[in-house]
Amino acid sequence: MRALDDVSLSVRPGEAFGIIGPNGAGKTTLLGCLLGLLRPDAGRIAVDGRPADDLAVRSVTGYLPERLVLDRWMPGLDFLAYHHALARLDPARRHDEAATALERVGLTQADGRQAIRRYSRGMLQRLGLAQALLGAPRYLFLDEPISGVDPAGVILFRKLLGEMRARGATLVINSHQLDQVERICDRVAFVRGGKVQSIETLEAGAAHARVLRVRWGANSDASALTPERLSTLGAGVGAALEELKPPEARFTVADDDGAAKLLATLLGAGVRVIEATPESGRLERLFVEPGKEKAGP
C-alpha cells in the first residue's frame, strides 16, 4: 500500500501552511517525511536546501507530535530542560528559558514541578507546544496542535503561533480543526489517498459557494419574511433560499461578495438581521468527494 504517492509541494519561508484531509489520507506520514523520521522510497525532501534529517535543520526545528508520548516520570520543567539540552541551546539560560516556556503556554511553575503523568490531556498538549517553541525555531511542525485543548488554550495557541509567524517562523500544521486552519494558515494542501489533491490559498477560497445561515430579530418587517419575498430578494443578488424556519433562513451564496450583498438587501427590505454565520467553513467543501455531494439522509 502506498501511503503517499507523487506528492510535490513547496512551503514558502514565513508561511503558515496547513495539511488537511480525511483520516488515513497520509497527512501524518507526510509530516513524518518532512521531519526526516520516515524515508520516502523515491523523491527528495529539502528544508532550506538541506536534507530533512540534517542536524542543522533539526537545530532550528520545533515539532509537536500528534500522539504526545513523554517520559511520564519527568516533571514538566525537567522535560523542558531536557529538550533545551537536546536542542543544544545555551546551558546558562536553560532554567530561565524552560520556566519562561512553561509560562508562555499557560502552565504554572507548580505545574512544572509535577510529574508529567499527573497532567491532563490539555496540559500535556500545552507542555508539548512549550517544548516545540524552545529556542524560537525557524520551522515549526505541528501535528493536531489543539487536540484536547480548551477554548482558552486554543486562543492562546493561536496567539503564540501568530507571534512565531511575526518572528518569521515557517509553520506546517496538520489538523482536522478546519476553522483553526482557516484562521492560522495562508495556504492549505488537501491530501486524499496519499496524493495532494489541491493546494488552496485561503483568499481564493472565498470565491467558493457556501451556505449562509441568517437569523433576524422580532422587530423585522413581516411582509419581507415570506418564502416568496425572501427568494426574490435572494435571487436579486445571486443567492438562493434553501430553507426557511423563522426566525432564520438558509441561503446559498456564491462568494464573500454575494454574502455581503445579500445581507445589505435583507437589511434594506426591513429584515433586522442579528446574526449571519456560514454553515460550513471554506475548507469543508474539499472533503465532499465528487459525485457524493448529495449523499446523506
Residues that bind other proteins (CB under 8 A): 28-29, 32, 35-39, 55-56, 58-59, 61, 63, 65-71, 73-74, 82-83, 85-88, 131, 141
C-alpha cell at position 22: 480525511
Among residues 224, 217, 231, 213, which one has the least CA distance to residue 276?
213
Q: Which is nearer to other proteins, 132 or 233 (CB)?
A: 132
- Return the number of the residue (83 or 126) whose C-beta is nearest other proteins: 83
Least Å distance between CB 146 and other proteins?
18
Q: How many CA atoms lie within 13 A of 76 on its CB side?
A: 29
Quick one: 142 or 249, whose CB is closer to other proteins?
142
Could you tell me the three cell numbers for 87? 536542542
Nearer to other proteins, 46 or 86 (CB): 86
Q: For residues 141 and 157, which CB has a smaller minimum distance to other proteins in the complex?
A: 141
C-alpha cell at 115: 510529574
Cα separation, 133 vs 56, in Å, equals 17
Q: Quick one: 85 or 288, whose CB is closer to other proteins?
A: 85
**Which CB atom, from 61 or from 170, has the smaller least distance to other proteins?**
61
Q: How far is the CB of 263 from other proteins (least distance, A)?
A: 45
- Distance, C-alpha 218 to centroid of its chain: 37
At closest approach, how far in Å is the CB of 287 from other proteins? 22
Q: How far is the CB of 49 from other proteins (least distance, A)?
A: 17
Nearest distance in Å: CB 283, other proteins? 24
CB of 56 to other proteins, least distance (A): 8
CB of 3 to other proteins, least distance (A): 9
Q: Dump the DSSP string for 10-30.
A: ---TT-EEEEE-STTSSHHHH
Cβ(67)–Cβ(102) under 8 Å?
no
Paired with 195 in beta bridges are 192
What DSSP designation does 8 have? Answer: -
- Which one, 26 or 205, has the nearer CB to other proteins? 26
CB of 279 to other proteins, least distance (A): 33
Q: Can you read off the three cell numbers belonging to residue 21?
A: 484531509
Please state, in angstroms and rounded to a whole number, the distance separating the CA atoms of residues 80 and 102.
Answer: 8
Orientation of helix 94-104 relative to helix 76-86, angle to 10°: 120
Over the range 80-109, which residues count as b (16 or more CB within 10 Å of their CB) and which as e?
bbbbbeebebeeeebeebbeebbebbbbee
